[in-house]
Chains A and B, each alone.
Chain A
Amino acid sequence: MSVVEISGLHKSFGSLQVLRGIDLTVERGDVVCIIGPSGSGKSTLLRCVNLLEQPDSGQVTVDGTELTDPDVDIDKARRRLGMVFQSFNLFNHLTVLDNLTIAQRKVLGRNRDEAERIARQNLEKVGLAGRERSLPSQLSGGQQQRAAIARALSMDPQVMLFDEPTSALDPELVGDVLGVMRTLASEGMTMLVVTHEMQFAREVADTVLFMDGGVVVEQGPPAQVIGAPTQERTRTFLARVLNPTGDNP
């Protein structure tokens, strides 16, 4: 059963057409990796899924609710979508534990004990047990991003959205965050991941989407899109990404 359905999505910033008709269906439990050159519209597509960007036209349906319907309570609908940002965006004035509990309490109405129990479970899951009392500024980038993932998970989302979750990290910290995401994928979480990590996409994704110029150029299982791309634009992009030094293989 499909949990996310996107059809005919258009979005412009001024005269710049960023999305030019995107259609996408995501089945429950699927991991979809969105790849493409910068400026191809992949982050905008992800941000349109939870309406952080308001699309100009087209529909986004999550779990049977059409988010693009102006009569839908967007705050309520967003609870089904967890979002992880490139720059973590942990709440700087709150401890890690409070970061994880504040929305549970203020939005879902859970009491403090229950919220903290769920928060501790999720911190354990991302390998941050014992850091409850730390402030975000006392954590490394990798720890902050894992705390941000735990924060999103604490809302029990149906779908997790990852917007270049490892792009702001030092190379040696990327592995921890990708490890957490692998675990989530293996537990059957539905995930939309905008990423430049081709190895991750190849190993974890059920579907890879290659975007360029605001359209989906190529879409399919990773073995096909990354392993044997049929489109010239995909091949050019992959050649640059997989062989960044420009050596001849």
Chain B
Amino acid sequence: MTKKPKKVKKPFDYPILLTIIILVAFGTIMVFSASFYYAQMRWGDKYYFFKRQCLWAVVGFVAMAFTANLDYWRLKKFSKLLLVLSIALLVAVLLVGIERNNAKRWLNIGGLSVQPSEIAKFALVLFLADNMSQRKDKMKYFFKGIIPYFLVTGILFGLIMMQPNMSTAGSLVLLVMVMLFVAGARLWHLGLLVAGGAAAAAALIMAAEYRMDRWIAFWDPWKDPLETGYQIIQSLYSLGAGGLFGMGLGESRQKYLYIPYPETDFIFAIIGEELGFVGCTLLILLFVILIWRGLKIAITAPDLFGCLLAAGIIGMIGIQAVINIAVVTASMPPTGLPLPFISFGGSSLAIFMASIGVLLNISKYAKAS
């Protein structure tokens, strides 16, 4: 089955590579700017986060170089294995994970803390791309075509929800939807799922008090400015203080412990504060370029597997970027998803970069479109 398609090797899609290099470099600088004060206060080392981010960026570039030169169809072989492995890791994290902020999300692997859910995301993309490309004709059917993928995703979703980490779990659901959409599922099937998903999300929000609080805080953050509304208010202060051109690189005031997680979930707010609307717009533009080039690779992919794989990778990045920026701008209830390539978070960065490597590899075999 997995025959090597007839392909002519072309150079990489350099715009993507360039975009990623810019994003990672910029992200690393912003991680330092946003984190040095907290790092100094918490760890007595203002480079604490910066050093780690640099290290992971190097790991990420190595991983990217590796996957960019690994013919993507070879990944098919590992699709099931990787899925099983990530399920195992997700179970492990529930048992022996490191607990931070009331959630078990991290595994300590050789001194590095890794989020198995990040691996699971990529595993799911790979599995879905492989499986959907083989069962192309089934996509029209709701029970035969769509439900099985939701069952697989459901396992991951359930395990991640137990950490708990609703945002990552939720992003997996969106990811499946995007891939089903690209794979050719009927739109009314998807509409049905969206309605069901919305109902489920509402149920989940109401089931946990902290999620309910966030929901209320989203609608009126000033109702409880020091508790539930605090994050949203501080994020808005940050952006508001930036204005058009920002206060200048390194000049954020909000990062002085006013805004929580300035180096991860709310790094976009710090960027807005230091570089203003201009900086924010340019960053969003970079993401749009990335998505455009990425989807172009998907369109020109030589086979459906490559197409779906590229679409899944880009979908994963796009969904996360949208959610992160939407949270920071108080456009949706606060939830903790890092901004791809920018936020501090080692395993996430490395895995995203490895995925980009896969994307670059697919681009080498692009057909003329």
The answer to whether A and B belong to the same complex is: no
Q: Which residues of B contact A (CB under 8 A)?
A: none
Q: Which residues of A contact B (CB under 8 A)?
A: none
